[in-house]
Amino acid sequence: MKAKLISLWVALFTIALSAQAQITLQDPVITNSYMKFTGENWTNNYRFTLDTYEIADRGPQFQLTVEPIEASKTAQFTTSDLSDPNYWEPMFRSYTKQLAGEEMTAQDNVKRLYVKNVALLPKQFAYYKELTIIGIEAVGDYTIPDACFSGCPKLETIDCNVAGTLTLGSYIVDTQPEFTVKAYTEQGANAWNEYKQKTGANFSVVTSLVEENVYTVCGSSAIFGPGPEGWGWDPADTDNDMTTIDASNYQLVKKNVALESGTTYEYKVVQNHSWEVNWGIGGQDGKNFTFTVPASGNYNVTFTFNLESGNCTADAVGTSAPEPLSQVPNGDFAEWEERSLPAELGGGSYTSPAGYWDTFNILAPGCVTKTEGRTDGSSAALLESKTVDMSVAGMPGESVTTSLLVTDRFLSKMTGSEYEQGVPSDGIPARYLTFWYKYQPVAGDVAQVFIQFNEDLIIKKGVTRTMKFRKKITEAAADWTFGYIDLSEDEYGISLSNLGWSIRAFYIDITSSASSMSSSTEGKGASAPGSKLWITELQFANEATAIHDVLSDRTKNPSPVYNLSGQLVDKAYKGIVIVNGRKVHF
């Protein structure tokens, strides 16, 4: 089975998507004992994930999870989904036939099914012959349609956690299998018992009535109100109670909140309006969760709490168009902050430069750290290439890399096809992007500074137009060295004068190892970790400003230019040179 799963990983990249498909497929994740592939139908607002779990001495087993893409919207299947070429059944059947020479159907292999707040179709899971466990969650009313689970002879458990009114269709299960239904409300238990009496079905009903806990976010008064003491942090404020998304996830949205750039906002989650049980970074009784915003303004802030991990994220979305920036934010890396990790990436926290910046510290702590800058009292970012496990980010395998990015949507970027990327900008701010760096590469490695200007802040794959510029650093530099990227013409020879569309955002990606796992780099990168890149003072500049003495027109009274061996070179030379006693990277 393991060999087949590994081969399936290869095939998933080679099968083209049908033009008629409404279900889109995400790249799968695969290891020797784990497989996962996901499809999404944004029209019907559902996502399915077919993955594996281990049973001792039996190897990988298949399970299917169905859930909404957006928790606040209705999610449902329609009959057209059943004939969609990217529906899990034909997709699974097609892949296994190509690999094994025979069809393996999901209908004959899926053993566990979990449905969360998605409306199903009649007979949708009829004759799933290996199905043993069914989990159903719904925060409101829910109907199990006719014959939905008929013909499932190995059924053992139906875990039915419906908070609203449960309605059961006809012939939803066969009468013969002996199995257990676990209900969480009196109405749900009554519905199953009435069905049993009416049909003579051979199952038992177990009721597990659990008193529902209340989860409240409390913190800075600017967001959560002053409270009775006038400074916020009131655990008893019911205005800050979270609503239930499902059995493990809760959410609170604070709308049109005035927030200040440069201010760190703190918060925690408490249970049942008391500090006795509370969550922060790292779990119960942890230190305060924090977040910042890149620019002052009004925001809608969504707090999402996962009970299993104890992690609570804050997503602040501006309620008005952001002001374009004419300079790289926090380009000297003076400001850093601790951020929360989402549950799907293991929870906990990681450090990052503040503002728009994000780092591969999400996946490998210590990839990017704060260090001393070029001058006394200044700061820089140190990038050190590490072996990064990309599978937890929904990408295949491992890679030797690290990345420092100007984007406030890095987590969405790893898993979504449409995301915010970068900093709002009205055109290209200046002729050059300049920086200072030192580089200590593993033999043969290459570092890179990359900047991309986008048509919009929201990236739509294959639609959004871009201009790309890069500087590859191929030589070691033990001393601080001046580098720059000329933004007058991109790597395809396109300039602003013949662009034909407007620039509204820019994005920067810096890496100490040129690796295909960094979105803007090329090649497979180093074979071993250890390359180090120090970088600071990223800024936009024109020839007439701070870099005039270094970037003066080399055709007009140019200063002598020498390579590192002391040899005189001409203006076409590429690499690190010495001009007027200063190291410059041309």
Q: What would the pLDDT profile of 19-50 be if each residue is shown by its tens digit?
A: 357 899 887 765 655 667 899 999 999 999 98
E-strand spans in 397-441? Answer: 398-401, 404-406, 418-420, 423-424, 432-440
Q: What is the pLDDT of residues 57-112, one digit of tens each?
A: 566 688 999 999 987 788 999 999 998 988 988 888 776 665 556 777 888 888 99
Label residue 142 by pLDDT band (50, 70, 90).
very high
Residue 172 has pLDDT above 70, yes or no: yes
Label residue 576 by pLDDT band (50, 70, 90).
low
Contacts of residues 409-416 at CB distance under 8 Å and 24 or more positions apart, as own/partner, are 410/358, 410/362, 411/342, 411/345, 411/362, 413/459, 413/519, 415/26
Residue 330 has pLDDT above 80, yes or no: yes
End-to-end CA, the chain: 53
Label residue 16 by pLDDT band (50, 70, 90).
very low
Tell me, what's the pLDDT at 547?
Answer: 43
Length of the chain: 586
* pLDDT mean across residues, the chain: 79
Separation CA 454–CA 451 (nearest Å): 10
Residue 277, H or E segment: strand 274-280
Instruction: Please state the rounded mean pLDDT for residues 533-539.
Output: 93
Radius of gyration of the chain (CA): 28
* Per-residue H/E/C for 507-521: EEEEECCCCCCCCCC
Both tokens assigned to 422: 């970068």
Separation CA 253–CA 264 (nearest Å): 18
Residue 414 has pLDDT above 60, yes or no: no
Separation CA 162–CA 141 (nearest Å): 7
Instruction: Please state the rounded mean pLDDT for residues 318-333.
Output: 74
> 160, 209 in Cβ contact below 8 A?
no
Which range (39-48, 146-155, 229-238) has the least confidence?
Answer: 229-238
E-strand spans in 14-117? Answer: 24-25, 29-30, 35-41, 46-55, 59-68, 110-116
Tell me, what's the pLDDT at 267?
Answer: 96
Residue listed under structure tokens 């095939």: 11
Both tokens assigned to 283: 């779990």
**DSSP class of 214:** -
Which range (91-105, 423-437, 554-568) has the least confidence?
Answer: 554-568
Separation CA 159–CA 132 (nearest Å): 11
Distances in Å between the Cα of 245 and the Cα atoms of 195, 250, 300, 315 are 28, 5, 18, 16
At 69, is the secondary structure helix, strand, or coil?
coil
Q: Which of 268, 173, 256 is nearest to 215 (CA)?
A: 268
**What percentage of the chain reaches a pLDDT higher than 90?**
34
Q: Mind listing the domains of the chain with CATH numbers?
A: 2-207 (no CATH), 213-320 (2.60.40.10), 323-542 (2.60.120.890), 557-585 (no CATH)
| Beta bridge partners of residue 290, listed in sequence order | 266
Which range (10-24, 108-122, 167-181, 310-324) has the least confidence?
Answer: 10-24
**How buried is residue 474: exposed, middle or buried, by Cβ count under 10 Å (0-12/13-18/19+)?**
middle
**DSSP class of 241:** B
Q: Which of 295, 298, 297, 300 is nearest to 315 (CA)?
A: 300
Q: Which residue has the higher pLDDT, 402 or 537?
A: 537
Separation CA 118–CA 45 (nearest Å): 9
At 371, is the secondary structure helix, strand, or coil?
strand
Residue listed under structure tokens 């990168």: 525
Contacting residues for 445 by C-beta, under 8 A, at least 6 apart: 385, 512, 513, 514, 525, 526, 531
Both tokens assigned to 135: 């989990």
Separation CA 205–CA 188 (nearest Å): 10
Separation CA 249–CA 267 (nearest Å): 17
Tell me, what's the pLDDT at 279?
Answer: 94
> 152, 172 in Cβ contact below 8 A?
no
